[in-house]
Amino acid sequence: MVQTATRRRRLRTPMAVDRPRSRTAASRRACAIRTTSGTAVFVLTGSDPHWYESLRATARREPRLRIRTAYSHSSTRFPRPRPRCPRPSPAARRPLIALGRRPLGGRRGRVDGSRRRPGERRPRAGGGCSPKLRKISKSTEATKVKWFSKIVLSCALASLAVVSVRTKSIGSESADVSPATFGAVCDGRRDDGAAFQAALDFVAQRGGGSVLLPAATCFIDRTLVVGDRTTIRGSGPLSILVRGNTSSVGPLYQGPTNCETNVGFTGRALFMNSRYNCGNRGIILSSFAIDGSRVTDVPLSVLIAFSAIADTHIDSLSIVGAAQDAIFFKNGGVNTSITNTTIDGFNMRWGNGAGIHIEMWANANLPTDPATPVLISNNRIVVRGLNFCTGGPASENLRKPCDGDAQCASGKCGDGAVYAINAGKPGGASSPGPGAAVIISNNQVELTNRHYGIGSFFSAYTQIEGNRIAAIKSATAWSGLSTGIVCTGNTGTEIVKSNELDSMGLPDDGRGILLTGGTTQAAVLGNAIVNRSARWNLAMLEIRGYTSAFEIGNNSITAGSGSHGLVIGACGDGRTSGGIVHNNLVSMPGIVGTVFRPIVLRNATNITLTDNVTSPSVPVALQCPPAT
């Protein structure tokens, strides 16, 4: 009885029992299938801890190998060993039969012929086993077959997993990889450029996917080339890419269709699209930071340079210290956007460019479509770069920082046209091809050093709406001075609406809003210009050279001084005519006792003025009236 009790306790603890050899062997069988993407799928048909630890050790030895372990649902624990029914051998049964006794002890006797004690249970037929144990004993072979079936089923599941992994690897926009898989260390010192490019190439070869950046600082000392349908996504400001100063060769396509020959482009860009000038689609940069402060050589040092792109989006980036432009789109294409991005410092070593720069060129494909303009929205851009000499020797022109005209051989410091956001067409109206089409909305711009806020030049569609442009201080002679919004030669719809321009009231400031030379109807509506003191003979809001039915209405100019408030037309320029100016508030207390006026007409005819309020309340000034 003691032995029986001990046996039962051991059966209740499966890990302490010696398992049947056949089941132990079955439990250690596994299927291992390696995929073309470097993934191994292991399916174990048991929960043997030794096999599991061996598998984890393999994963530690091979960091580039992703290991997925799947268990058959029905084999996540070992079955208890089945007890066998003790059966007398035929030789042991014959003597009892020869004596005329029942082999199992008869009605009252035991197997050995003696009588049972009172209360002793009568043994059952079949060798003393209960029907339940006898049934279990008969199922030993069935159990082996069952375990073999589990192994086959598990291997089938492994095959399905492999198919799933392969489908994920080669499907459109589905191959998700990390540069760490290709050897990136991201310690901020060693160059991870080759590993990042390998990850981008891996995604491109599979028709698209995502490169997932680690939450670390990665040093990139080369230009990264991005292909179609590629997403580069980080972990917000924790994922930092630092561009080194080493130049490298990126793509540059040329030819009759801009796609024939890749002649290469040598520079210090961080990102370029793989078919620059020819065309790429579906590139997304999202949720990471870029540090360009280690780039010291210019030019050709734009951080993000894309040409001929469509379905391309930049969102939630943080860019600091760009030597030249932070983001440059050449032929912005269709369905492209730059949103929710912070650019703090750009053109830090070059005197011409923009934080966000959209340009249309004839030697690149995919020009913007006025029906689907490039969207530039909800960005914060800080224009804090120095001024640079303009003109003079090549060693100085746009390269030498200056804080006054006397420091430049050309005698001219600054005004090299540095914009927070700029859309244009190099060559102006004479350049072939359409101009840019842009919606610039709800951005916050901070300006100093006589730089510019938002510009649009010879564009096919311009909508500048809901932006806030504020002056900030710097450590230069032109601290806090700037020009707000400039539009020149635009050929399509032109809307400047609901923008706020807040200055510091410093003397010698630039214009608030200037529109000049457009060919279609312009609308300047609901803008607020506060605390600006423009340079002599400039204006807070000025429109000139328009001959169609433009509209200037519901604008507010307050706390102004230094020069004129609202100016229509220009002396020595083309005649301005056919506009309506209504419901504007022009308060200029700083011009009392001067020759400046709240509203001035210059070489303008057929202008309707209605319901405008001015302070001081003086008549509209007529300057250089047109010849009759």
Give strand pairing partners of 468: 444, 500
State mean pLDDT over 116-126.
58
Predicted pLDDT of residue 203: 97
Nearest to 518 by CA among 483, 548, 484: 548
Token digits of residue 232: 């580069």
Predicted pLDDT of residue 625: 82
CB contact set of 44 (below 8 Å; sequence gap of 6+): 30, 51, 52, 55, 69, 70, 71, 72, 154
- Under the banding of pLDDT at 50, 70 and 90, the label for residue 364 is very high
- What whole-number distance in Å separates Cα of residue 570 and Cα of residue 561? 20
- What whole-number distance in Å separates Cα of residue 459 and Cα of residue 212? 36
CB contact set of 172 (below 8 Å; sequence gap of 6+): 207, 208, 229
137 pLDDT above the threshold of 70: no
Nearest to 221 by CA among 190, 199, 250, 252: 190
Predicted pLDDT of residue 16: 36
Give strand pairing partners of 281: 310
- What whole-number distance in Å separates Cα of residue 500 and Cα of residue 484? 9
The single residue listed with the structure tokens 């635009």 is: 490
38 pLDDT above the threshold of 50: no
Which range, of 53-62, 485-494, 553-562, 582-591, averages the lowest pLDDT? Answer: 53-62
Predicted pLDDT of residue 590: 87
Predicted pLDDT of residue 98: 45
- Under the banding of pLDDT at 50, 70 and 90, the label for residue 290 is very high
- What whole-number distance in Å separates Cα of residue 494 and Cα of residue 438? 10
531 pLDDT above the threshold of 90: yes
pTM for this entry: 0.74
Percentage of residues in the chain having pLDDT higher than 90: 63
Helix or strand (DSSP H, E) at 140:
helix 140-170
Helical ranges in 338-399 per DSSP H = none
Most confident of 10-14, 21-25, 540-544: 540-544
Predicted pLDDT of residue 281: 96
CB contact set of 514 (below 8 Å; sequence gap of 6+): 483, 485, 486, 487, 542, 543
- What whole-number distance in Å separates Cα of residue 206 and Cα of residue 102? 78
Write the DSSP symbol of residue 223: P
Nearest to 314 by CA among 275, 341, 274: 341
Q: What is the pLDDT of residues 212-252, one digit of tens each?
A: 999 999 999 999 999 999 999 999 999 999 999 999 999 99
**Higher-confidence position of 586 and 168:** 586
Going by their DSSP bridges, the two strands 304-307 and 327-330 should be labelled as parallel
State mean pLDDT over 199-220.
97
- What whole-number distance in Å separates Cα of residue 196 and Cα of residue 184? 7
CB contact set of 601 (below 8 Å; sequence gap of 6+): 568, 569, 607, 620, 621, 622, 623, 625
Separation in Å, CA 350 to CA 67, 326, 347: 49, 12, 5
Is the Cβ–Cβ distance between 425 and 461 less than 8 Å?
no
Q: What is the pLDDT of residues 400-430, one digit of tens each?
A: 999 999 999 999 999 889 999 999 998 888 8
- 257 Rama class: left (phi>0) / alpha (psi -120 to 50) / beta: alpha
488 pLDDT above the threshold of 60: yes
Which range, of 116-125, 225-234, 471-480, 541-550, averages the lowest pLDDT? Answer: 116-125
Q: What is the pLDDT of residues 294-317, one digit of tens each?
A: 999 999 999 999 999 999 999 999
Handedness of CA 290, 293, 294, 299 (dihedral sign): positive
**Higher-confidence position of 140 and 517:** 517
- Under the banding of pLDDT at 50, 70 and 90, the label for residue 156 is low
Q: What is the pLDDT of residues 252-276, one digit of tens each?
A: 999 999 999 999 999 999 999 999 9
- What whole-number distance in Å separates Cα of residue 464 and Cα of residue 469? 12
Q: What does the radius of gyration of the chain's CA atoms come to, in whole angstroms?
A: 40
Percentage of residues in the chain having pLDDT higher than 70: 72
Write the DSSP symbol of residue 85: P
Phi first, then psi: what are they for 11, rounded to 5°? Answer: -70, -25
The single residue listed with the structure tokens 């500048």 is: 464
Which range, of 23-37, 169-183, 227-241, 267-281, averages the lowest pLDDT? Answer: 23-37
Per-chain mean pLDDT for the chain: 82
Predicted pLDDT of residue 20: 41
**Higher-confidence position of 274 and 37:** 274
Q: What is the pLDDT of residues 398-407, one digit of tens each?
A: 999 999 999 9
431 pLDDT above the threshold of 60: yes
* Domain assignments of the chain as residue spans, ordered by start: 2-81+139-170, 503-628
Nearest to 590 by CA among 532, 551, 508: 532
Given 3-state DSSP classes, what are the helix, strand and coil percentages for the chain, each rounded to the nearest 5?
Answer: 20, 35, 50
**Higher-confidence position of 101 and 226:** 226
- What whole-number distance in Å separates Cα of residue 345 and Cα of residue 385? 6
State mean pLDDT over 580-604.
92
